[in-house]
Structure 1
Amino acid sequence: MKKHVAGLVATAVLAGSAAFGGISTARADDLSYFQKKLDPYLSKPQFVAPGPAFDAASCMKGKSILSIPVSSANPFTANIEKAMAATAQDVGFKFTTWENQGQSSQWVQGMTTAINQHYSLIDLLAGSDPRVLVPQVNAARAAKIPVIPSHYNGVEQSAEVRHYADGDVPIDYAKAGRLLADWAILRTSGHMDALVLISTGPLSTDSMVSGINAELKHCDDCKTKTMNFAVTDWGTRITPAVQAALLSDPKINYIIVIYDSMSQFVTPAVTITGASKRVKIDAFNGTPFVLGLVQRGAVEMDIGENLDWIAHSILDSEMRRLCGLPLVNDPKIPFYIFTKANAMDAGTPPKLSQGYGDAYKKGFHDLWQMH
């Protein structure tokens, strides 16, 4: 370990939070750095308004949004789409999800449909890549239909995205990556030997990997091996590949999963290889079925995003654009750490967006002047 030895109190109690479930205090003088990074995300998030209040129902009257998720087979994006549809219904405007199986040709079809049917805005959710849709984006612009990637890129990548689209609804993916590494380093007492499962293509992956790598600089005795899987290959490639990796390297003690829906294919590999005691898993997104894996102990930690909160935040940003209001650079989407100690708050079985508190519901209700 480096940079965090001198001057720190060796008796720091890392098990002070119930969410850690009894973290070892070994090398606490070094590990307190990582604990401090995690501490703010152990409490239920509070609502922070991303911008000034406005009358959403009035300004969205007669307007419409078509959303194209990266893949309808991905439970994370499917659940956000459901929440966006419900939120749009509450506000009172037309919202359509373009169902697809993650093929760029299907995204093209969705763009064409939105243009031909004169939607007011096209949302590209969580990986539908505007960089491969340049002709369609240009056609939408010609029709005066803004194209907005949402939950796609990190806040530090907004300038790049805006070369290919008309704006974005970013998220701090780099922070999520840092937190995943912080947790794994802490849980391995500073001796992390991890598989990192990624899916290249979306800019979010680059942002999260940069966050993971940033924290590795603070740990001398930590190393990672990256495994890359296309979204369309998750169901067929992840389990055998992880199984082979665990069998070939008995020193692996952690698996970092940057998108938690991949976990359903990781846990069987850990079980099959008999590695459950030595290998733990952390992940990012807070997809309900993965929180069920956390409840059972199959996944140790999941950095949750309230999917309903995400839906509200995305639509907040996009409604502001359609209503001619000042745009927001930060949609204020918070993170919350789930472990076996608090995952039951999400329900049994876990329910969409449960366990985070409900501060955002009144927050957005008031922000949008829905009376």
Structure 2
Amino acid sequence: MASVALGAGAASAQDASGVENARKFLEPYLAKPAFTAPGEPFDAKACAAGKKMLSIPNSSANPFLKGIIDRMKKVGDELGLEVVEWENQGQPSQWVQGFEFAIRDGFDIIDLISGIDPGTVAPQVRAAKEAGVKVMTSHFYDPSFDQHPDVSSSLTIGFNEVGKILANWAIANTDGKANILTIVSREVPPTIPLTAGIDEMLAANCPDCRIVQEINVGVTEWATKIQPAVQAALQANPDINVIIPIYDSMSQFVVPATRLTGKVGQVKVATFNGTPFVLDFIAQGLVDMNIGESLDWIAYATVDGHLRDACGMESPTALNVPFYIFDKDNVADAGTPAQFDTGYGDAYVAGFRTLWGLDQ
């Protein structure tokens, strides 16, 4: 059957429909997040008593992860759960040492937070399991991932959903004319579903939008490679009008590149995590959008899920921490300077305290 070319009017209507679909997709993420209980009430203090959790981030240099762990320590203090960070510089040999420390020092839980693939430390995960230490992940797996067989439980996060938000924001804020530069770290597994979400929404809502270039930089090389790569990309592709650094701590190296190339205000920057210095960039007009998550909310949800598992209860399969879009219209709600947990409301605090029997 012969193909039929769309007329200009039909194509224009299709483009407008895609942009409208993108705007509608974003609406729920512009509303203040609401708390949903992740499970049945339980006596969290009785469960936590005498227990220890070692949290191993993929790198302690990441302020987002550092902020979550600091808040888990505070939540743990109130419940009687000792939370310790295994500080590292993103080297697998250091992660291995963390496992050895947890096993040797009688920890109950090892929390692999946001970036460490259990498969890269599989012998250590197995050794911990055999020693009676439960290995759990948080803020790492997308719901589409298969959990490592030796991991006790996983609190997933919708990385694919994040990618869809980023793509639809780019579509809506360029009126369907997005020429995108993405900055990714493909050795971090959540990158795969996140970038798939971007591709899916571009195909669905804006076939004429395109990713002009992808810059793939390993986490330990962000500080040295992102800025020159972004500068080169902007100079070689003057039609780029959106930059998506998929993890917002990358933005500290993107902003100098847009400044040096004279692209501040001309190229929109959209990202994910809600790290305060990036929210300050929004207030300063250097970044346009950040999909935020309350780090305190993540901390409460992580402690909740891991305690449920450690005490033989069913653990949630997701963190259930809502995403919230910050832009120039609401970034002031995050504080001046911005704070990790400001702007999201505090419904989760009362929600978890009631769930744990602390306010009865």
TM-score under structure 2 length normalisation: 0.94
Q: Deviations over 1:94-152 (max 9, x none)?
A: 11000111111110011110000010010001012211111101110111111112101
Amino acid at match of 2:156: P
Question: SS state of the match for residue 39, structure 2?
Answer: coil
CA distance in 2, matches of 1:97, 1:137: 17
CA distance in 2, matches of 1:277, 1:122: 44
**Counterpart in the other structure of 1:122:** 110
**Which runs of 5 or more residues in structure 2 are unaligned?**
1-5
- 2:221 aligns with one of 233, 239, 249: 233
Alignment of 1:169-318 (within 5 A): 169-218=155-204, 219-224=206-211, 225-318=213-306
| 1:27 Cα deviation from its structure 2 partner | 6.0
| 1:200 Cα deviation from its structure 2 partner | 1.5
CA distance in 1, matches of 2:155, 2:318: 7
**Counterpart in the other structure of 1:165:** 151
Q: Is the 8 A contact 2:51 2:80 kept in 1?
A: no
CA distance in 2, matches of 1:364, 1:346: 22
Q: Deviations over 1:65-122 (max 9, x none)?
A: 0000111101111111111111111212211000111111110011110000010010
Question: SS state of the match for residue 155, structure 1?
Answer: coil
CA distance in 2, matches of 1:203, 1:128: 9
- Judge which range, 29-38 or 333-342, deviates more: 29-38
- Judge which range, 250-259 or 328-337, deviates more: 328-337
Amino acid at match of 1:57: K
Amino acid at match of 2:192: D
Change (3 A) 1:137 1:215: same
Q: Is the 8 A contact 1:253 1:279 kept in 2?
A: yes
CA distance in 2, matches of 1:71, 1:62: 27
Identity %: 45
Question: SS state of the match for residue 84, structure 2?
Answer: strand
Amino acid at match of 2:68: I
Question: SS state of the match for residue 357, structure 2?
Answer: coil
- 2:96 aligns with one of 91, 100, 108: 108
Amino acid at match of 1:358: D
**Counterpart in the other structure of 1:19:** none
Amino acid at match of 2:44: A
CA distance in 2, matches of 1:324, 1:369: 18
CA distance in 1, matches of 2:209, 2:150: 37
Amino acid at match of 1:215: M
State yes or no: 1:62 paired with 2:50. Answer: yes
| 1:340 Cα deviation from its structure 2 partner | 1.1
Aligned length in residues? 349
| 1:202 Cα deviation from its structure 2 partner | 2.2
Q: Is the 8 A contact 2:129 2:150 kept in 1?
A: no
**Which runs of 5 or more residues in structure 1 are unaligned?**
11-25
CA distance in 1, matches of 2:143, 2:70: 25
| 1:278 Cα deviation from its structure 2 partner | 2.2
Q: Is the 8 A contact 2:112 2:136 kept in 1?
A: yes
**Counterpart in the other structure of 2:3:** none
Q: Deviations over 1:236-269 (max 9, x none)?
A: 1000000000001101110011100000100110
Question: SS state of the match for residue 263, structure 2?
Answer: coil
CA distance in 1, matches of 2:75, 2:246: 27
Q: Is the 8 A contact 1:68 1:110 kept in 2?
A: yes
Q: Is the 8 A contact 1:192 1:222 kept in 2?
A: yes
Moved over 6 A (4+): none
State yes or no: 1:94 paired with 2:74. Answer: no
CA distance in 1, matches of 2:77, 2:50: 13
CA RMSD of aligned residues (A): 1.7
Q: Deviations over 1:186-233 (max 9, x none)?
A: 111111110111111222111101111110112121110211111100
CA distance in 2, matches of 1:64, 1:43: 36
| 1:277 Cα deviation from its structure 2 partner | 3.0
Question: SS state of the match for residue 303, structure 1?
Answer: strand
Amino acid at match of 2:100: T
Q: Is the 8 A contact 1:153 1:207 kept in 2?
A: no
Amino acid at match of 1:220: P
Question: SS state of the match for residue 313, structure 2?
Answer: coil
Amino acid at match of 2:154: D
**Counterpart in the other structure of 1:154:** 142
CA distance in 2, matches of 1:328, 1:300: 33
| 1:28 Cα deviation from its structure 2 partner | 4.3
| 1:315 Cα deviation from its structure 2 partner | 1.1
